[in-house]
A and B are shown apart, each in its own frame.
Chain A
């Protein structure tokens, strides 16, 4: 009798061509204290039992009262696009801790909606681009929404579990352990947490009391290399630039684009090639302008 090869169950569609509409039958599992949550969309069925989040048919998750979730359940969040609804300020310190320890990594597939009593409370610095005012579009897309623009859109072709995997690979890439103040150059800041440990960093150039601190790290959208020219650099900065490279295009072109944008010497630390999707290589360039 031929041996049957063991195939792991397919938990997440890895690749979905750009522009293709969301699957017709998307299912959203939601957790909220006492089986209820804020009124964000009628299609969200709240459950007070966190086991509801383990539903294998669910394409996306909505979570509120994060402080009540057990640690084990956080793993489920790393495999499904998740909308975090924060309506209780008590969740914010928990949220900040989970982000800083990278128990939770926000990917372009995830969104954060702040409502109710938590509105106006000081938010963890890492949320940035993930914040949505009206979550109904995210809910309607059933977890297929990706907040990415331009060439980096290819990162959005990847399923949530693979995005988490990319984040884990980025964990292993050495960034200098100085207290980082990071600044977004260009768009697509929703990739920042994935490519670097942003939650332990402070963000500059986006408001708040630390807004005018000099950056030690630039998160660069390579389509906006030109924006580097006008940037004052009073100290050396590490550059983290995620890239998508069509087959046959040399990486040196991208690196020289970064290099040529500034008069300071550019010291290339490393290039991490993360994965290939549809003949496009996804990766991250790490380097430093030495002042």
Chain B
């Protein structure tokens, strides 16, 4: 082993503590994989991003004391890359293309395609200028990179044309489960997550509201921010909030989220398919599977080709209260236990597999 690797993180990795509500699980996975090849693996976070994340009191007071973390101003990046010995920089997504270009002269660049972001922008209603700009960034990232990671076979096929000349490999997203979580009886159904502008959670919230109102014996964790009155989920959210069997939570720390998953018998995540969803590998779904929780998900997403057998139920057609009820009954009866265990093991192996970094140190 030799060399140093910098994982450029856009969010803080989960070990930063409860401050980190949407932790950089991909950065954590890449760091774990890189550690099998490199002597020294560090997270690099740009100061401007870090300042945005630490807007709350007491947030990140010890960041600079963490030996595996470098916080750097973006305009100081050029001096930084010229000063340090040859290293490898991993960039997830194509947001830091200028920095990647600056580093490419003296260092090795790895471009990690986590999701087809141009599609996300398009479906979210971004202007054509922004979409084209992202596509240019994507192409430039491929140009300057020594290797490209792609999350999932579907995305690999989508980008096959772009990657024809590039050294690329499959590196599926495989978050590791939260550490230090006690085992507990699995009682609750968990659902929610953060709705993005390119997804529509309303059908799932409506179905969950009917299901949980009709089955008061089933307790549930609703992980959701309080929607504004104009959001489509607002009515179902209010109904769910008032149900005595629903615990509404939001903004959980990585450890508390792990603890909630440890008490969950099933995880429900469903949004209508669109051009972007066809390639989506939902973080919360992967997190649930890595914590041993079977999932109810829509068929046709990027997760279809992730495992030999789906760890839960991939639902064809729309979500209904009956479908949720059947899934919860099957999950309680242990119908998915074997597939979930296999998927967990597969994800654990990916997370420890350093061969994606072979030859870069």
- Give the interface of A toward B (CB within 8 A): 89, 92-93, 96-97, 121-122, 174-179, 181, 202, 209-210, 212-214, 216, 234-236, 238, 265, 267, 269-270, 288, 290-291
Contact = CB atoms under 8 A, between A and B. Distances in A.
A89 B187 CA distance: 23
- Is chain B's interface secondary structure helix, strand, loop, or mixed overall? loop
25 contacts: A89-B244, A92-B244, A93-B242, A96-B242, A121-B244, A122-B244, A174-B56, A177-B56, A178-B18, A178-B19, A209-B187, A210-B247, A212-B182, A212-B184, A213-B259, A214-B255, A234-B180, A235-B17, A235-B18, A235-B253, A235-B256, A267-B58, A269-B57, A290-B17, A290-B58
Nearest to B219: A209
Interface in B8-34: 17-19, 21
- Is chain A's interface secondary structure helix, strand, loop, or mixed overall? loop
Given A214-B259, A236-B17, 15 more contacts: A93-B244, A176-B58, A177-B251, A178-B19, A178-B251, A178-B252, A202-B247, A209-B247, A209-B263, A214-B255, A214-B256, A234-B180, A236-B19, A238-B58, A270-B57
A179 B61 contact: no
A62 B277 CA distance: 55
A52 to B, nearest CB: 29
Contact of A176 (B19, B180, B247, B252): B19
B77 interface: no
Contacts of A122: 244-245
A176 B58 CA distance: 8
Contacts of B17: 235-236, 290-291
Interface centre among A89, A267, A288 (most CB of B within 10 A): A288
B42 interface: no
A121 B245 CA distance: 11
Contact of B256 (A89, A92, A176, A213): A213
B57 A216 contact: no
Contacts of A270: 57
Nearest to B249: A179
B191 to A, nearest CB: 16
Contacts of B241: 97
A203 B324 CA distance: 29
Contacts of A97: 241-242
Interface string B212-253: 000000010000000000000000000001101101011111
Contacts of A179: 249-253, 256
Given A93-B242, A236-B17, A216 B256 contact: yes
A216 B184 contact: no
Interface string B275-318: 00000000000000000000000000000000000000000000
Nearest to B62: A290
A213 B250 CA distance: 15
B188 interface: yes
B57 to A, nearest CB: 5
Contacts of A202: 247, 249
Interface centre among A175, A216, A269, A291 (most CB of B within 10 A): A216
A93 B188 CA distance: 20
A63 B57 CA distance: 38
Contacts of A234: 180, 255
Interface of B: 17-19, 21, 56-59, 61-62, 180, 182, 184, 187-188, 219, 241-242, 244-245, 247, 249-253, 255-256, 259-260, 263
A213 B18 CA distance: 13
A288 B242 CA distance: 32
A202 B263 CA distance: 15
A290 B255 contact: no
A133 B21 CA distance: 39
A178 B58 contact: no
A93 B245 CA distance: 11
Pairs A-B, 10 closest by C-beta atoms = A93-B242, A288-B58, A236-B17, A179-B252, A235-B18, A176-B56, A179-B249, A179-B251, A235-B255, A122-B244
Nearest to A93: B242
Contacts of B244: 89, 92-93, 121-122
A214 B242 CA distance: 25
A212 to B, nearest CB: 6
Interface centre among B21, B58, B249, B250 (most CB of A within 10 A): B58
A102 to B, nearest CB: 14
A103 B172 CA distance: 48
Contacts of B247: 202, 209-210
A217 B57 CA distance: 14
A201 to B, nearest CB: 10
Contacts of B61: 267, 288, 290
Contact of A174 (B21, B57, B249, B263): B57
A23 B100 CA distance: 76
Contacts of B242: 93, 96-97
Contacts of B180: 234
Given A209-B187, A212-B182, A265-B62, A178 B259 contact: no
A119 B188 CA distance: 23
A122 B58 CA distance: 34
A240 B245 CA distance: 29
A89 B216 CA distance: 14
Contacts of B21: 178
Contacts of A181: 256
Contacts of B260: 213
A202 B253 CA distance: 13
B259 to A, nearest CB: 5
Contacts of A209: 187-188, 219, 247, 263
Contacts of A267: 58, 61
